[in-house]
């Protein structure tokens, strides 16, 4: 995410006014640890909500203050659209190698499931790219992602209600291939290069437009409901949530995981692969919580941590790297 943040801040799709806005918002985060483009977008969405509310109420001063600037809801909406287009371009225009992701899903659906009854796998993806979906397709693994159709499709969350044997992909923060058509209130997936009869609006990635935040039709809210259900297995069943590449910096996601740990009554286990020498932040907090500490397993760069048990190492182990984890899951030692 830091690399994406730098790319977006300097992207050609960002106009001068949006650059000024982003520079001001970034200064407001001075001193914050690891603030990213998602944090900046969330801040702008919050400001947009205030400006829209003032406008709807007929306020004589509907514009909001951003540092020493005054911004209208229209200006904030335009800026948000430019930023999301820059995010989409930064990710979508790169030539990427899906080999590691193929190794990963192959290991999940073959090596780890050998000799076991068929059981579905849920992927909760915070990245905007489509590498997990691409890898599943390349490996001919059936999956559902909330859309009906093909390369071009429409949002139909009932597709998540599978027989339990297929994979499900929940793009919790949206995707670079999601968009809104003019007049639509739910996302479409439009293949790159396709021209449509009605205009395509901004790329639909988190944080969502404010009109989504007040309705249960919000696709992000719907996916979080499925996430809660998945992480709270019924009595007699257990669930493992493996986490890789996440720094536990999203308070909404952290809260969902923490609630699931408590509500699962011990049936949910967290296996977190992190690049810090030892657990920090939320993971450290959970490891010291008597009610859930035994459900937490942390594979850090210099040790393994489980409840009050610690195995510290002098040398670094790179199991937090996605490519290394994929090889380990595939049986390589």
User: Which DSSP string do the residues of 271-324 spell out, in sequence order?
Assistant: EEE-SSSS--HHHHHHHT-TTTGGGEEEEETTEEEETTEEEE-SS---TTSHHH
Give the confidence band of 215 by pLDDT, cuts at 50, 70, 90: very low
d(CA 245, CA 253): 14
CA 38 to chain centre: 10
Share of the chain above pLDDT 70, in %: 89
Give the confidence band of 173 by pLDDT, cuts at 50, 70, 90: confident
Pair 258, 286: CB distance under 8 Å: yes
pLDDT of residue 23: 92
**Would you say residue 216 has pLDDT above 70?**
no
d(CA 243, CA 128): 17
pLDDT of residue 244: 94
d(CA 54, CA 43): 17
User: Angle between the 73-92 and 16-28 helix axes, to the nearest 10 degrees?
Assistant: 90
Write the Ramachandran bin of 265: left for phi over 0, alpha for psi from -120 to 50, otherwise beta: left
d(CA 254, CA 221): 15
Pair 256, 228: CB distance under 8 Å: yes
Residue in this structure with the two tokens 């799709």, named with its chain if needed: 13
Pair 159, 115: CB distance under 8 Å: no
Share of the chain above pLDDT 90, in %: 52
pLDDT of residue 10: 85
Whole-structure pTM value:
0.84
pLDDT of residue 115: 53
Q: What DSSP designation does 177 have?
A: E
Residue in this structure with the two tokens 């001001």, named with its chain if needed: 24
Give the confidence band of 256 by pLDDT, cuts at 50, 70, 90: very high
**Would you say residue 210 has pLDDT above 50?**
no
Please report, for the chain, the start and end positions of each structural domain, with discontinuous segments joined by +: 2-92, 97-230, 232-333
The mean pLDDT value for 303-310 works out to 94
pLDDT of residue 25: 92
CA atoms within 13 A on the CB side of 76: 27
């Amino acid at each position: 995410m830091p690399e994406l943040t730098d790319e977006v801040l300097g992207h050609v799709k960002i106009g001068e006014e949006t650059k000024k806005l982003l520079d001001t918002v970034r200064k407001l985060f001075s001193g914050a640890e690891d603030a990213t483009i998602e944090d900046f977008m969330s801040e702008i969405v919050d400001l947009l909500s205030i400006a829209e509310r003032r406008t709807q109420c007929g306020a004589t001063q509907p514009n909001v203050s951003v540092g020493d600037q005054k911004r209208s809801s229209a200006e904030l909406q335009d800026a948000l659209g430019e930023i999301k287009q820059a995010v989409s371009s930064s990710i979508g225009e790169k030539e990427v190698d899906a080999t590691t992701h193929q190794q990963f899903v192959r290991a999940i659906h073959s090596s780890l499931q050998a000799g076991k009854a068929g059981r579905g796998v849920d992927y909760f993806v915070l990245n905007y790219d489509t590498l997990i979906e691409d890898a599943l397709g390349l490996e001919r693994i059936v999956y559902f992602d909330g859309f009906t159709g093909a390369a071009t499709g429409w949002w139909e969350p009932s597709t998540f209600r599978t027989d339990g044997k297929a994979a499900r992909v929940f793009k919790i923060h949206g995707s670079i291939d999601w968009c809104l058509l003019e007049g639509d209130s739910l996302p479409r997936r439009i293949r790159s290069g396709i021209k449509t009869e009605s205009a395509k609006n901004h790329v639909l990635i988190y944080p969502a437009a404010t009109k989504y935040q007040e309705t249960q039709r919000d696709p992000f809210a719907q996916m979080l409901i499925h996430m809660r259900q998945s992480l709270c297995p019924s009595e007699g069943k257990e669930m493992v949530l493996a986490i890789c590449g996440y720094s536990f910096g999203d308070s909404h996601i952290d809260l969902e995981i923490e609630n699931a740990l408590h509500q699962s009554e011990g049936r949910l286990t967290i296996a977190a692969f992190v690049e810090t020498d030892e657990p920090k932040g939320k993971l450290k907090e959970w490891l010291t919580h008597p009610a859930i500490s035994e459900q937490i397993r942390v594979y850090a760069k210099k040790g393994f941590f489980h409840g009050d048990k610690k195995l510290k190492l002098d040398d670094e182990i790179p199991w937090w790297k996605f490519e290394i984890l994929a090889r380990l899951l595939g049986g390589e030692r």
